[in-house]
């Protein structure tokens, strides 16, 4: 698969790649980029609008509160004086991690279930179909709230709950793909040659299902980030002090009319990331799509 | 000349915009006499189906068809108004396609589909249309027509479905029937059945039939004259007897060689170069890469159709200088 | 001919498909018998053609012989040892000896894999070669089918139908099998290419002492390539004879009808032939006629044909016919 070159060809993929790379770099280089600590509260610098200067310095550890040089809060501060920009930067780590892990887990699990049920049929298919139906009949949010309450919140719990919400999509799509690919001549040929189930699945069937998995994957990641934000917004997700875009939205909720920047900035960040993921996913799909398969 | 019901000259079809023009049919000319059974044989990419579709202006968008002349019964097909064309399609010229499954609407009963043709072209009343539909089904050999009219296409077998499409084609009482690979998708015994049916109908109604097929042997049974097409051109046009006994064009000889049981086993087209979708409008004879008798001239200049013996046309440079191998070798 | 050893032996092969539903909504859930008690020997080194129309069960029989389908009853033996109920690893090892070439050269190759990978698959699966030796073997196979070894890195869509079929054949010979099933391998190809592929099959057979099972509905092709022909109708073998004898004097009415239906490329002969088409349509295996399955369309059916199914009997050395009238 000739990856790199073709990725640059379409402008939309390029844009997506740029956006995504930007966010990833920010996440990785967070300690270097963030001007302040994301968690330290500074009551004297509460609710400062963007581009304002705080009175104190970044007050790390136990340094005496001296009138040091004032530092610029590019995006302002939130209700307890934390720098919005720094929280945004550190928050990218969490959102990306959560989003990516959730997609990874749900994609792997869902594809596995989907491909096995599509390939084997029989009771495997029947039972997974039943499981999917049962899960789908529960409203996701209720399920999420219940589980998070039971698991007690935290990053891992959120990731698992998000994965739980989306694995079904992969399972269904992969199953449908496998059903149609299973009857292709080359699968029968491989079977007749003596290839085992594993080989047939991994060499012949799954690579041909990558295309729809990519589409679902990119949308899922976007959805995961938003859902995490939503869960945190509802207060059931991550710990409120953790710098995540969702918790920032939650914080900013009460100040939308007065300190609008607290919620708007993470909102923009989410939008940019989701856009990047979606565009990139589209491009990836087009790449993997059997264009050359005519 | 005046007996020709269809007279086509210089028909060319190309696809694509100005930048990517691709010629698929080049300078095709032929005549069909009234009541004649013309067979058009060619492989995939030969342009035989496109040629037929172009006569009824059924080509896909982006296709450009031009002809010096394309007259049906004295009228120019390419300059008909939409209303007049509508009248010709189905009513004067009818087509039977290869796959009866896709030619029939799966959600309408057979009765609906046949009577639709009748009501469209003859403005028949419902009762008249139904009666006529029963007659048509009987004429194509379908037992118990009243029951069958109420059924859906999936309730018929492949051969029966094709009979239904033939009945639909004949509903308009056409004078020319174009059968485009009508039996390719059917079993051998059913194929023979359908072929016999069409021949009988042809005799009974004085139809002119054009058979388009890739199966040359089939044409020995049904065709009076055979047109051989290759890469969008006519390469040979001869009465059936002459074509099978002594084909002139090397491609026709290759085709005949592959289907003759008595062909010596190793005497096949030696070249393994496939018939790629080469630009049919390119210079030179399209068969040159695969031709055992190709010479310099063949690669540079397209051969023109010449008349041999008064009733045969062939386009091959090797025929003129008499240095070609005879058909018996 | 009876001294030749049988490579594959099938006895009493029956394949029944049950349409299973979770909720039996309809009573008419009659099982479909794709094959009924078929006996067949495939002799070492021969090309046996299996001829029949849709519903005859020829593809099913081939798959039972190479064990990609399990028969509902009956036995299959390979070189004398019973392979009917083997499974898992021994079955996979056995597959090395059998290979198949399918009808559609377009879907028989994985569009994502290079043709070299496709050809290498049997070698990889059976652990026969690796690394440079593998590549070399793939190149050899390509050359043997008339393609240049440098094309191994290309993907299937870059080749024409005829070339793809050659690649499928290369894949079939890669692990040096004993037995190749060609299931309508020529049907999707243009007529002028069929001759070349037939020659290729013959060539490979001579070189590697292969045994072929050639499935086709095209009788004119079958005549050029096979030693013996088995004619099937509705899940049974109705006639089996050496090729020349079958074409010269077919004994079963269905064989006669089949041969009559095939056009001969000679207009004079064709016009002289009086052809009466078979009545009716090929019956569906889900609803087979009683007695002899062919009696509903047979021009010579007698009372006995309706009640008693004829057995496949040897009427002359090497000639088997299942017809009451042939006795």
How would you classify the pairing of strands B22-33 and A52-53?
A: unpaired
Which residue in the set C163, C218, C266 is minimally distant from B274, CB to CB?
C163
Question: Sign of torsion, CA A167 A169 A175 A178?
Answer: negative
Q: Is the predicted pLDDT of residue A133 greater than 80, yes or no?
A: yes
Q: What is the pLDDT of residue B267?
A: 43
* Residues ≥6 apart with Cβ < 8 Å to A59: A40, A42, A65
Please report, rounded to a whole number, the percentage of residues in chain A having pLDDT higher than 70: 88
- Residues C308 and C30: their CA atoms lie apart, in Å, by 21
pLDDT at B275 over 60: no
Residues A198 and A205: their CA atoms lie apart, in Å, by 10
State the SS3 of chain B: CCCEEEEEEEEEEEECCCCCCEEEEEEEEEEEECCCEEEEECCCCCCHHHHHHHHCCCCCCCEEEECCEEEECCEEHHHCCHHHHHHHECCCEEEECCCHHHHCCCCCCHHHHHHHHHHHHHCCCHHHHHHHHHHHHHHCCCCCHHHHHCCCHHHCCHHHHHHHHHHHHHHCCCCEEEEECCCCCCCHHHHHHHHHHHHHHHHHHCCEEEEEECCHHHHHHHCCEEEEEECCEEEEEEEHHHHHHCCCCHHHHHHHHHHCCCCCCCCCCCCCCCCCCCCCCCCCCCCHHHCCCCCHHHHHCCCCCEEECCCEEECCHHHCCCCCCCCCC
User: Do the two chains B and C touch, given a threshold of 8 Å on CB pairs and at least 3 pairs?
Assistant: yes
Q: Is A186 on the interface with C (CB under 8 A)?
A: yes
Rounded CA gap, C107 and B125, in Å? 49
Give the pLDDT confidence score for residue B208 in this predicted structure. Answer: 93
A242 pLDDT higher than 70: yes
Contact B78, B53 (CB under 8 A): no
> How many other CB atoms are found less than 10 A from the CB of residue A4?
6
- pLDDT value of position B262: 53
Q: With a cut of 70, say whether residue A137 has pLDDT above it.
A: yes
What is residue B273's predicted lDDT score, i.e. its pLDDT?
42
- Provide, as residue numbers in chain C, all residues whose Cβ is less than 8 Å from the Cβ of B214: 190-191
Instruction: State the Cα angle at C91 between C35 and C12, rounded to 5°.
Output: 25
Highest mean pLDDT among A278-292, B4-18, B248-262, B273-287: B4-18
B43 vs C contacts (CB less than 8 Å): 190-192
Answer whether residue B274 shows pLDDT above 70.
no
| Percent of chain B residues past pLDDT 90, beyond the cut | 23
pLDDT at B68 over 80: yes
Interface test with C, best of A126, A184, A186 (most C CBs within 10 A): A186
Cα–Cα nearest to C78, from C59, C62, C98: C98
**What pLDDT is recorded for position C20?**
60
The string of pLDDT tens digits covering residues A25-52 is: 888 888 888 788 777 777 777 888 888 7
* pLDDT of res. C218: 82
Helix (H) / strand (E) element for C137: namely helix C131-144
Query: What's the average model confidence in pLDDT over A285-294?
Result: 57
Q: What number of helices (H) and strands (E) belong to chain A? A: 12, 2
Question: Chain C within 8 Å of B244 (Cβ-Cβ)?
Answer: yes
**pLDDT band at A231; cut points 50, 70, 90:** confident
Predicted-complex ipTM score: 0.82
Q: In which band, very low, low, confident or very high, does the pLDDT at A285 lie, cut at 50, 70 and 90?
A: confident
Summary count for chain C: helices (H), strands (E): 11, 12
CA separation for the pair C284, C32 (Å, rounded): 9
Q: Of C104, C107, C112, which to mutate for an interface test with A (greatest number of A Cβ within 10 Å)?
A: C112
Q: Do B189 and C261 touch (CB under 8 A)?
A: yes
Bridge partners of residue B230, in order along the sequence: B233
Neighbours of chain C (3+ CB pairs under 8 A): A, B
| Whole-structure pTM value | 0.80
CA distance C73 to chain A (A): 21
Residue B212 has pLDDT above 90, yes or no: yes
d(CA A253, CA A251): 5
CA A139 from centre of chain: 20
| Segments of chain C scoring below 50 in pLDDT | 1-3
Nearest-CB residue to C125 (from A188, A199, A292)? A199
Query: Is some CB atom of chain A closer than 8 A to the CB atom of C157?
Result: yes
Q: What is the mean pLDDT of residues B18-26?
A: 82
Of C132, C133, C139, C143, the residue nearest C153 (C-alpha):
C139
Dump pLDDT digits (tens) for B29-64.
999 999 999 999 988 778 899 999 999 888 888 888
**pLDDT confidence of A294, banded at 50, 70, 90?**
very low
The CA-to-CA distance between both ends of chain A, in Å, stands at 16
Give the Cα separation of A68 and A74 in Å (integer): 18
For C142-194, write each residue's pLDDT tens digit.
999 988 888 889 888 888 888 899 999 999 999 999 999 999 998 888 777 88
- Cα–Cα nearest to C58, from C189, C287, C237, C290: C237
**pLDDT for C279-299, tens place per residue?**
777 777 778 888 888 888 888
**What pLDDT, on the 0 to 100 scale, is given for residue C171?**
93
Question: Do B121 and B172 form a contact (C-beta atoms < 8 A)?
Answer: yes
Give the separation between CA A181 and CA A188, rounded to whole angstroms: 10
The angle subtended at Cα A207 by Cα A201 and Cα A213, nearest 5°, is 110
**Mean per-residue pLDDT of chain A:** 80
User: How many other C-beta atoms can be found within 10 angstroms of the C-beta atom of residue B240?
Assistant: 23
**C10 CB within 8 Å of a chain A CB:** no
Q: Which two tokens stand for residue A193?
A: 């040659």
Give CA–CA dist A140/C2, Å, rounded.
72
At B268 the pLDDT is 47
> What is the rounded distance in angstroms from the CA atom of residue C269 to the CA atom of residue A20?
75
State the average pLDDT over residues B239-258: 88
Among residues 108-127 of chain A, which lie with CB inside 8 Å of chain C? 126
Summarize pLDDT for B123-142 with one digit per residue, the tens.
Answer: 888 898 999 999 999 988 88
**What is the distance between the terminal CA atoms of chain B, rounded to a whole angstrom?**
36
Q: How far is B211 from chain C (nearest CA, A)?
A: 15
Q: What is the pLDDT of residues A92-119, one digit of tens each?
A: 888 888 888 999 999 999 998 998 898 8
User: Per-residue pLDDT tens for B195-204?
Assistant: 888 888 888 9
Closest C-alpha to A283, from A207, A215, A219, A226: A215
| Contact (CB<8Å) C111/A293 | yes
The answer to whether the beta carbons of residues C141 and C119 sit under 8 Å apart is: yes
């Amino acid at each position: 698969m000739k990856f790199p070159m073709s990725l640059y060809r379409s402008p939309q993929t390029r844009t997506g790649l740029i956006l995504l790379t930007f966010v990833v770099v920010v996440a990785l280089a967070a300690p270097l980029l963030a001007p302040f600590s994301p968690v330290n509260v500074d009551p004297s610098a509460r609710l400062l609008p963007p581009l304002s200067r705080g009175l104190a310095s970044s007050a790390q550890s136990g340094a005496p509160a001296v009138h040091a040089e004032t530092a610029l809060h590019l995006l302002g501060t939130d209700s307890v004086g934390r720098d919005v920009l720094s929280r945004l930067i550190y928050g990218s780590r969490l959102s990306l991690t959560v989003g990516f892990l959730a997609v990874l887990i749900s994609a792997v699990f869902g594809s596995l279930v989907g491909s096995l049920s599509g390939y084997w049929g029989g009771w495997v298919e029947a039972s997974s179909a039943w499981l999917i139906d049962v899960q789908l009949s529960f409203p996701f949010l209720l399920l999420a709230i219940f589980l998070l309450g039971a698991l007690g919140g935290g990053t891992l719990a959120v990731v698992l709950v998000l994965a739980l919400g989306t694995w079904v999509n992969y399972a269904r799509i992969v199953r449908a793909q496998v059903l149609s690919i299973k009857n292709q001549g080359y699968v029968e040929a491989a079977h007749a040659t003596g290839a085992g189930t594993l080989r047939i699945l991994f060499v012949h069937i799954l690579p041909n299902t990558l295309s729809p998995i990519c589409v679902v994957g990119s949308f899922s990641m976007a959805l995961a980030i938003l859902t995490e934000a939503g869960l945190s917004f509802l207060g059931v997700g991550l710990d409120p002090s953790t710098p995540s875009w969702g918790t920032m939205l939650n914080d900013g909720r009460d100040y939308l009319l007065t300190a609008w920047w607290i919620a708007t900035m993470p909102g923009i960040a989410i939008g940019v990331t989701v856009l990047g993921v979606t565009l990139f996913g589209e491009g990836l799909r087009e790449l993997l799509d059997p264009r050359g398969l005519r | 000349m005046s007996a020709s019901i269809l007279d086509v000259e210089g028909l060319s079809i190309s696809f694509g915009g100005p930048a990517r023009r691709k010629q698929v049919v080049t300078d095709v000319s032929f005549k069909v006499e009234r009541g004649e059974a013309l067979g058009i044989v060619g492989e995939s990419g030969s342009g035989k189906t496109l040629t037929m579709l172009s006569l009824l202006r059924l080509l896909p968008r982006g296709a450009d068809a031009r002809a010096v002349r394309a007259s049906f019964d004295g009228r120019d097909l390419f300059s008909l108004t939409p209303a007049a064309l509508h009248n010709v399609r189905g009513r004067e010229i009818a087509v039977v396609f290869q796959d009866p499954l896709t030619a029939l609407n799966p959600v309408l009963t057979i009765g609906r589909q046949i009577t639709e043709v009748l009501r469209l072209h003859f403005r028949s009343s419902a009762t008249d249309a139904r009666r006529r539909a029963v007659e048509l089904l009987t004429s194509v050999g379908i037992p118990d027509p009243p029951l069958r009219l109420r059924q859906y296409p999936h309730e018929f077998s492949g051969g029966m479905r094709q009979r239904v499409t033939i009945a639909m084609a004949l509903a308009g009482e056409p004078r020319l029937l174009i059968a485009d690979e009508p039996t390719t998708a059917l079993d051998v015994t059913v194929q023979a059945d359908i072929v016999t049916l069409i021949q009988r109908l042809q005799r009974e109604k004085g139809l002119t039939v054009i058979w388009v097929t890739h199966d040359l042997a089939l044409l020995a049974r049904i065709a009076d004259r055979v047109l051989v097409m290759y890469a969008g051109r006519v390469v040979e046009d001869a009465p059936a007897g002459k074509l099978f006994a002594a084909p002139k064009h090397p491609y026709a000889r290759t085709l005949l060689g592959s289907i003759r049981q008595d062909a010596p086993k190793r005497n096949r087209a030696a070249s393994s170069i496939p018939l790629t979708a080469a630009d049919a409008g390119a210079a030179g004879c399209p068969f040159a890469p695969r031709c055992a008798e190709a010479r310099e001239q063949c690669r540079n200049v397209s051969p023109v159709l010449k008349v041999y013996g008064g009733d045969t046309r062939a386009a091959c440079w090797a025929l003129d200088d008499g240095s070609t191998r005879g058909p018996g070798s | 001919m009876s001294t030749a050893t049988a490579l594959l032996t099938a006895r009493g092969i029956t394949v029944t498909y049950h349409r299973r539903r979770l909720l039996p909504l309809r009573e008419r859930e009659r099982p479909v018998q794709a094959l009924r008690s078929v006996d067949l020997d495939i002799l070492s080194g021969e090309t046996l053609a299996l001829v029949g129309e849709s519903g005859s069960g020829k593809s099913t029989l081939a798959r039972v012989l190479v064990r990609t389908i399990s028969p509902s009853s009956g036995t299959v033996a390979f070189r004398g040892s019973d392979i009917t109920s083997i499974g898992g690893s021994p079955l996979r090892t056995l597959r090395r000896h059998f290979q198949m070439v399918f009808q559609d050269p377009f879907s028989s190759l994985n569009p994502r894999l290079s043709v070299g990978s496709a050809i290498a698959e049997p070698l990889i699966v059976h652990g026969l070669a690796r690394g440079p030796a593998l590549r070399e073997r793939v190149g050899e196979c390509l050359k043997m089918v008339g393609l240049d070894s440098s094309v191994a890195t290309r993907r299937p869509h870059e080749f024409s139908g005829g070339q793809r079929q050659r690649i499928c054949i290369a894949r079939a010979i890669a692990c040096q099998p004993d037995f190749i099933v060609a299931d309508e391998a020529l049907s999707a190809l243009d007529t002028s290419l069929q001759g070349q592929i037939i020659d290729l099959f013959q060539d490979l057979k001579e070189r590697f002492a292969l045994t072929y099972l050639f499935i086709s509905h095209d009788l004119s092709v079958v005549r050029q390539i096979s030693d013996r022909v088995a004619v099937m109708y509705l899940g049974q073998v109705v006639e089996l004879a050496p090729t020349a004898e079958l074409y010269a004097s077919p004994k079963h009415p269905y064989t006669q009808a089949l041969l009559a239906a095939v056009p001969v490329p000679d207009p004079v002969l064709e016009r002289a032939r009086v052809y009466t088409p078979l009545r009716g349509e090929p019956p569906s295996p889900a609803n087979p006629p009683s007695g002899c399955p062919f009696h509903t369309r047979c021009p010579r059916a007698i009372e006995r044909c309706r009640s008693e199914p004829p057995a496949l009997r040897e009427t002359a050395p090497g000639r088997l016919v299942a017809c009451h009238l042939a006795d």
